Amino acid sequence: MPADTSDPLAALGLTPAQTALYDAVLRLHRATCAKLAEAVGDPPESLHRELTTLVRLGVVDEQAGEYLARHPAAALGRLIADRLDHLAEESRRIDAVLGSIRRLVHQYDAGRDQQTGQFPVELVGGADELYESVIGMAVQAPPLRLLTAVPDRRTMSDFTQRYADQWIAAQHRGLLSCRTLIPADLLQMPGLPEKLVRFERAGARIRTVGSVPSWFLVAGDEVAGLPARWGGALAENAYRFHLVRASVVVAALRTLFEELWARAAPPPWARTDDGVVRVLRLASQGVGDEAIARQLGVSVRTVRARFAGAMAELGAQSRFQAGVEAARRGWLAERPGSDPARHA
């Protein structure tokens, strides 16, 4: 059953009843269970159980029989962190499965599929053959929906210097529809940002994460690419890799990619205005409009205009929703070398 996208808190594990109760706590800021029951129209006995859950989740505090609202950014930060920990654990489980892929392939190759014959695995070697294989698949069935994850500097260096123009042209011609994940620190490589900007302008989508567990690709619904050694860099292994045509492997790698993509952030040049980010970041720390204006050296009207712009860009109906969505997209993370006082 799909998640209820009308309630962002549902994605963090809160039920509709808990969300309604949390909204009441925010409005009253400090109240007894009886007063909250009066506000939401539910009996105190049932509310007590829900309040206990909210306290356990860390979004509400209890003091001397009264329930206090924590700042939403701090409260939901804990729920978001718990959700990210869960996603990270799921990714580790997928990594463990993929780490055993060679053993599974050997076991599968030992038998026979009564309809299609042997398990189709092609061992490919060499950077030229890798890139030509992808372009070849794209020419046969355009546009090829390509998911790629690249963990290392050497492979991205080869891409920048030797293959980027070919892939950009393929994307521009409609042969490829590419999404790519790379570690954020690779954006410091000379020449790479310029190539990635051109790639995006041609229609590709780029996101960055802290680290990528291994090189891999998913080409359409039928082909997966795996390195000869999971976790290794292609360049360090002479670009030896397997093209696997098996739905279970394609599905596993696609799931891993989507988990990483959901936690990834756009490259810096694709993010919203820095002034908007600074306003959201300070608000998430509990700083009020006037204090934000003083710290950034702008007017309160400018601060509120930036809030309005952020809500529009994020598709949020409130500041609270804007803060949650901004945190999900990684906007609130400090960038290396950033200076909060600059570009206010």
Would you give per-residue pLDDT tens digits along the chain (344 residues)? 444 445 667 766 778 888 888 888 888 888 888 888 888 888 888 788 888 888 887 778 888 888 887 777 766 776 777 777 777 777 777 777 776 665 565 555 544 443 454 557 777 777 778 788 888 888 888 888 999 999 888 888 888 888 888 888 888 888 888 999 998 888 888 888 889 988 888 888 999 888 888 889 999 888 888 887 787 666 665 677 888 888 888 888 999 999 999 888 788 666 555 678 888 888 888 888 899 888 888 888 888 888 887 787 777 788 888 888 777 665 665 543 444 444 44
**CA nearest neighbour of 105 among 248, 209, 313, 238:** 248
Rounded to an integer, what is the distance from CA 215 to the centroid of its chain?
A: 17
What is the rounded distance in angstroms from the CA atom of residue 91 to the CA atom of residue 15? 25
What is the rounded distance in angstroms from the CA atom of residue 298 to the CA atom of residue 296? 6
Straight-line distance from the first to the last Cα atom of the chain, in angstroms, rounded to the nearest whole number = 44
Largest CA distance in the chain: 73
Please count the other Cβ atoms lying within 10 Å of the Cβ belonging to residue 310: 24
Q: What is the DSSP string of 321-332?
A: HHHHHHHHHTTT
Put simply, whether the predicted model's pTM sits higher than 0.85 gets the answer no
User: 5 CB contacts (<8 Å, ≥6 apart)?
Assistant: none
Residue 206 near residue 144, CB atoms below 8 Å:
no
